């Protein structure tokens, strides 16, 4: 009796593993990409024109467009930095509440990165914690692949994070 139970358990586990592998392959083969994935062709086809290396091998983005201050719904993003080490990309920015009201609730945003040809490279999800009026916080986000050669970043509300809506956002870069 125990031998049959063991075989049955092993059979169920094997079926579950096969289903998980098939689901992973199907999800990976969908067109487009979602959070945590990259547009590999855009990354591979872009140069490292916007990247410098530090002595310890860290890649640092030097695009003036990416590091330019950005406005989003009463928040100013400044001191924007994008870097990568060991294949992981890190985003850091100072976020200032420029309104006369405290933001009591966290705000979900999507950081959409582009090449200098306008190709979308990747999207990072981030949460801006509550920020009092005229005060600043540090926003950080990271992803498990390297896209430090991005040219620009657009900041949009997480609820409207579609490619077409990202392209129509007007309040991104102070020029």
Do residues 24 and 105 share a domain? no
DSSP alpha helix (H) spans, the chain: 2-28, 40-45, 64-67, 163-168
Whether the CB-CB separation of 167 and 110 falls below 8 Å is answered with no
In sign, the C-alpha dihedral spanning 21, 23, 24, 29 is positive
* Residue 162 belongs to a domain: yes
Residue 166, CA distances (Å) to 34, 35, 77, 90, 163 in order: 14, 15, 17, 21, 5
Mean pLDDT of 123-147: 92
47 band by pLDDT with thresholds 50, 70 and 90: low
The whole-model pTM stands at: 0.67
Residue 150's pLDDT is what?
A: 93
Q: How many domains would you assign to the chain?
A: 2
pLDDT tens readout for residues 88-117: 999 999 999 999 999 888 999 999 999 999
Mean pLDDT of 121-134: 92
Pairwise CA distance, residues 16 & 25, whole Å: 14
Q: How long, in residues, is the chain?
A: 175
* Residue 174 belongs to a domain: no
Whether the CB-CB separation of 119 and 42 falls below 8 Å is answered with yes
Mean pLDDT of 23-47: 48
CATH number of the domain that 133 lies in? Answer: 2.60.40
Burial of 70 (0-12, 13-18, 19+ CB in 10 A): buried
Collapsing DSSP to helix, strand or coil, 37 comes out as coil
Residue 66 has pLDDT above 50, yes or no: yes
Do residues 78 and 161 share a domain? yes
Do residues 22 and 99 share a domain? no
Do residues 9 and 46 share a domain? no
Residue 7's pLDDT is what?
A: 75
Do residues 136 and 99 share a domain? yes
* Residue 45 belongs to a domain: yes
User: How many C-beta atoms surround the C-beta of residue 10 within 10 A?
Assistant: 10
**What is the 8-class DSSP label of residue 157?**
E
Residue 59 has pLDDT above 80, yes or no: yes
Residue 31 has pLDDT above 60, yes or no: no
């Amino acid at each position: 009796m125990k031998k049959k139970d063991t075989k049955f358990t092993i059979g169920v586990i094997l079926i579950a593993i096969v289903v998980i592998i098939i689901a992973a392959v199907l999800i990976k083969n969908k067109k487009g990409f979602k959070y945590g994935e990259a547009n590999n062709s855009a990354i591979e086809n872009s140069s490292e024109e916007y990247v410098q290396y530090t002595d310890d091998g860290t890649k640092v983005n030097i695009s003036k467009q990416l590091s330019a201050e950005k406005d989003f719904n009463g928040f100013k993003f400044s001191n924007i930095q994008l870097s990568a080490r060991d294949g992981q990309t890190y985003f850091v920015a100072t976020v200032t509440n420029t309104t006369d009201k405290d933001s009591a609730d966290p705000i979900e945003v999507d950081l959409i990165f582009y090449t200098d040809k306008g190709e979308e490279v990747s999207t990072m999800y981030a949460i801006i914690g509550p920020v009092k009026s005229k005060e600043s916080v540090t926003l950080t986000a990271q992803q498990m692949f390297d896209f430090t050669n991005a040219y620009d970043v657009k900041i949009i509300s997480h609820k409207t994070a579609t490619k077409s809506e990202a392209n129509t956002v007007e309040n991104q870069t102070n020029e």
